[in-house]
Amino acid sequence: MTALLAAAIASEAASLPLVPPLLLAPGIDVVGSSAFGFLPGVTLVALGSALVEFLQPVNLLDVFLNGLAKSALYIMIAVGLTLIFGLMGVLNFAHGSFTMIGAYLGGLILVLTVSGATGGLARIGLFLVGVLVVFGVLAGLGGVLEVGLIRPLYDRSPVYQILLTFGLTLVLDELVRIVVSLYGLQPISDWQNVFGTRPAFIASSLGLGPVDVPGLALFQIAFGVVTVGAVWAFLTRTRYGLIVRAGSEDPEMTEALGIDVRRVFTVVFALGAGIAGVAGVLLMWDPVWGASVPLAAETLLPAFVVVIVGGLGTFRGTVVAGVLVGMVDAAMTWWFQNAISFTGLPQITIFLILVIVLIARPQGLFGVEGVGGH
């Protein structure tokens, strides 16, 4: 999450003049440090006044909208993972790599097709074309990998599937690194040209009542809502979705009813990989994430958090957990920018959510006991 931190620091610098005079009053040391530097020398008074500031409706609305955008991203990242785990019990470590490949592929399509003269709507259209292409390519890749590599492992302990997908991550990341550096790009930093393909209204902020909302955030929220709706409709309104749900519930019974569960596995793995790729396409326009090779690890960990917090394999849980994590992330980013100088605050909170949920409710918020080796 290097990019996230860098952006957070940058925005902190930008927002400094906005810190209310109250916080800068003498005696209240906002960014000072105590003996243990991480425990910021923020006094209770400062925390209190920051809380008052935080609770101002304008700030709350701002945090809420940012939180929704982040939630949309987290859900996008995690949905594929949860589908795959729910049906097959495979914790796919290569998920982040699929997202990263999606970001690069989507970026490639847009960089090749968008020129300076392309209008805003045309860019959105090309973006959607990119989404379709990336979905197709990654679904194909996912299907091939499932049939060729993961299928032989179903009768072994689930640990081997974790190990195999972990190995896949190494291979995929390194391959992308080779290809990317072949074209003279820096694999570890964001692909800057992609940001240039954003339509004007996404790159700018829109005044929405009292707050300024980045167009990108609105776009992400809309995209997330559409994806969640589509996946939900697929799972509950189509025959194949019914089969997928039945397979998650009881694979043996499903098989007994004459359904080729193995083929359903392949389809769902392909679907999950495809959605991961689409999430990558969405992330490539966001300067906090961007298309880079480390994006794989940056997205994999939050995806795990969301999936585990929601309860492994439940779609509803993933959506709720995604919103929870997104909101907490947005709130903690605000606190980091305004009151607490510890740089890792949003991230550490996300992982703390994971730990606390697992301690308090091991099966996750909506999980059913008995899934995932309990």
Partner 1 sequence: MAINPNHGSDPETNSGDEQSGADPETANGADADGGTESGVGTEADGGAEADPPAGRQAEPESGLESETAPTAETGTRSVEESGTLAWPARYARDHLVHIAVLAVLLLYPGVYALLIDSPLRSELVALLPEVETMIAVFYFGLFAMSFDFISGYTGYLDFGHAVFYGTGAYVVLLAGSGKVPLLPAETPFVLLLVLAGLLAATLASLIGALSFRLSGVYFAMITLGFGQVVYVFVRGWEFIGSNPRDGLAVSERSGFEIGVPFVDSLSLAIGQLTGDEFSVLATTLSTSEVSYYLVGLVVLVCYLAMQRIIHSPFGRVMVAIRENEDRAAAIGYNTFRYKLGAFAISGFFAAIAGGLFAGFQRAATPDSSFFFLVTGDALLAAIIGGFGTLAGPLYGRLFDEGVREFLSKAGEGGGLLPYLREHLSEATLGTDLVGGITVQGAIETFLNGHASLYIGALFVLFVLFVPDGLLGAIRARLGGPIAKRLPDRIGERLPERFERYWKALER
Task: Enumerate binding residues for partner 1 (CB under 8 A).
Answer: 33, 35-38, 91, 149, 152-153, 156-160, 162-164, 166-171, 173-175, 177-178, 181-182, 297, 301, 304-305, 308, 312, 342-345, 347-348, 351-352, 354-355, 358-359, 362, 372-374
Least gap, CB of 142 to partner 1 (angstroms)? 16
Least gap, CB of 347 to partner 1 (angstroms)? 5
Choose between 23 and 153: whose C-beta lies nearer to partner 1: 153
Q: Would you put residue 160 in left (φ > 0), alpha (ψ -120 to 50) or beta? A: alpha
Residue 245, classified by CB atoms within 10 Å of its CB into exposed (0-12), middle (13-18) or buried (19+), is middle
Q: How far apart are CA 163 and CA 149, in angstroms?
A: 12
Q: How far apart are CA 256 and CA 63, in angstroms?
A: 50
SS3 5: helix
Choose between 122 and 163: whose C-beta lies nearer to partner 1: 163
Least gap, CB of 9 to partner 1 (angstroms)? 11
Choose between 24 and 356: whose C-beta lies nearer to partner 1: 356
For the chain, the helix, strand and coil percentages under 3-state DSSP, each to the nearest 5: 70, 5, 25
Residue 193, classified by CB atoms within 10 Å of its CB into exposed (0-12), middle (13-18) or buried (19+), is middle
Least gap, CB of 8 to partner 1 (angstroms)? 11
Q: How far apart are CA 77 and CA 134, in angstroms?
A: 14
Least gap, CB of 304 to partner 1 (angstroms)? 6
Least gap, CB of 144 to partner 1 (angstroms)? 14
Locus of tokens 């847009």: 110
Least gap, CB of 303 to partner 1 (angstroms)? 11
Q: How far apart are CA 193 and CA 174, in angstroms?
A: 22
Q: How far apart are CA 361 and CA 49, in angstroms?
A: 34
Q: Are 309 and 117 in contact (CB under 8 A)?
A: no
- Which of the 8 DSSP states describes residue 40? B
Choose between 221 and 354: whose C-beta lies nearer to partner 1: 354
Choose between 37 and 119: whose C-beta lies nearer to partner 1: 37
Degrees, nearest 5: CA angle 284-59-76: 30
Least gap, CB of 248 to partner 1 (angstroms)? 15
Would you list the DSSP string of 259-326?
--HHHHHHHHHHHHHHHHHHHHHHHTT-TTT-S-TTHHHHHHHHHHHHHHHH-TT-HHHHHHHHHHHH
Choose between 151 and 262: whose C-beta lies nearer to partner 1: 151
Choose between 223 and 366: whose C-beta lies nearer to partner 1: 366
Least gap, CB of 32 to partner 1 (angstroms)? 10
Choose between 253 and 358: whose C-beta lies nearer to partner 1: 358
Choose between 171 and 206: whose C-beta lies nearer to partner 1: 171
Q: Are 275 and 134 in contact (CB under 8 A)?
A: no
